[in-house]
Amino acid sequence: MAHWRQYLQEGGGTGSGFFQALQSKLPQLCIPQREGVSASPAYAKVMKKGLPFEEKDFGGCLELECPEVLELKIPSHFAGALPVLQTPHREDFLRLVRAIGGRCEPRIYPEGMHAMCIGGINNWDRVRLLKEQWQRGQVDQTPGEHWGSALQRFVQQKPELIRDRVLVLHTAPYGSVAHTLVPGMHDASTWLAASNTLRLEHEFTHYATTRFYGSMRSNMLDELVADCMGFLAALGTFPAQLFRRCMGITSEGWAPSGARARLYMADFDDPVIDKILGITLKAAANLEQALEQHAIRSAGPELFFALTALTLPDMASPEGVHLIGAGLARTDP
């Protein structure tokens, strides 16, 4: 994280100059995004061998349409700090996602996707610094070992020395829900600001499941927990009906094609999806009731561990409010 704090300090954390400074550190942000580019010798030279990016090898350099609104933040969280790249410009958001997590290929992403937490990123700036430290004997060396072998050893034994995790966010209303459908929300700008807080907490909650449980899962339980944490961080409450709207679920309890909820049930047929949706909505209603009973108004590690100790059927059961409440009791002041 020290390297990203340095990037923040050197580039100012926002604007065109910042993006150019970031490109000098992360060559994947320089590579033009074209079909098949990741299979090219030029890509291999830069991203697999760590050689400097040269425009002539690619016929140009990646540009953002609105680099002046790009921002880097490094917020604190109980799961740990992460660098967050955020932009209100949709196409720039997609370019960043493709560059950092999509091997610079022009992949199409769902219209409703506004965030991606990308791990396992080779940071060649950190590799270069590690090589200098290895040459000076400042990190572990093996007699007779050349740098290529040393790098492979570090990748296997201490990947955190060269690999990053980055959160990329698009500034947009959460769940594509209008502010008029949010209880107590009087204007679009306030809802947009709340959406930023909500989305950030949501993604950090997913990161917490990786840190504490070893995986970042894509299912309705994790989405319910992450949304709950996000709503509390942004609004101080968890309205189950707003959760339903943000998941794209109709008032009749169905998720039409293109709904966000569909992303987490892609492997199931309609009868199974119908059953999962029913369980999820009942769990959300029970969760709202339990949170109100215990006057839980904010997100935090105690709430996270209380909720992740339960299953979705647990929350949705007739005893769901009691089961959730038993866990929440440990968070009461």
The pairing of strands 115-122 and 84-87 is: unpaired
With helix as H, strand as E and coil as C, how does 45-73 read? HHHCCCCCCCHHHHCCCCCCCCHHHCEEE
Please report the pLDDT score of residue 159 as a whole number: 87
Please report the pLDDT score of residue 331 as a whole number: 62
| 3-state secondary structure (DSSP) of residue 168 | strand
Q: Domain locations in the chain?
A: 1-123+162-172, 186-333
Question: How far is the C-alpha of 210 from the C-alpha of 308, rounded, in Å?
Answer: 12
Give the pLDDT of the chain (333 residues) as one tens digit per residue. Answer: 788 998 888 877 777 789 999 999 999 999 999 999 999 999 999 998 889 999 999 999 999 999 999 999 999 999 999 999 999 999 999 999 999 999 999 999 988 899 999 998 888 889 899 989 888 888 888 888 888 888 888 888 888 888 999 999 999 999 999 999 999 899 999 999 999 999 999 999 999 999 999 877 778 999 999 999 999 999 999 999 999 999 999 999 999 988 999 989 988 998 999 999 999 999 999 999 999 999 999 999 999 999 999 999 999 999 999 999 999 987 655
Distant-in-sequence, close-in-space partners of 261: CB < 8 Å, separation ≥ 6: 220, 223, 247, 248, 249, 255, 277, 280
Q: What is the dihedral of CA 124, 7, 200, 29, to 10 degrees?
A: -50
188: which 2 tokens? 């679009």
Instruction: Note the Cα 58 to chain centre separation in Å.
Output: 29
Q: What is the dihedral of CA 216, 302, 243, 258, to 10 degrees?
A: 0
Please report the pLDDT score of residue 281 as a whole number: 97
Q: Which of 253, 242, 249 is nearest to 183 (CA)?
A: 242
Q: Positive or negative CA dihedral for 134, 137, 139, 140?
A: positive
Question: How far is the C-alpha of 57 from the C-alpha of 31, rounded, in Å?
Answer: 10
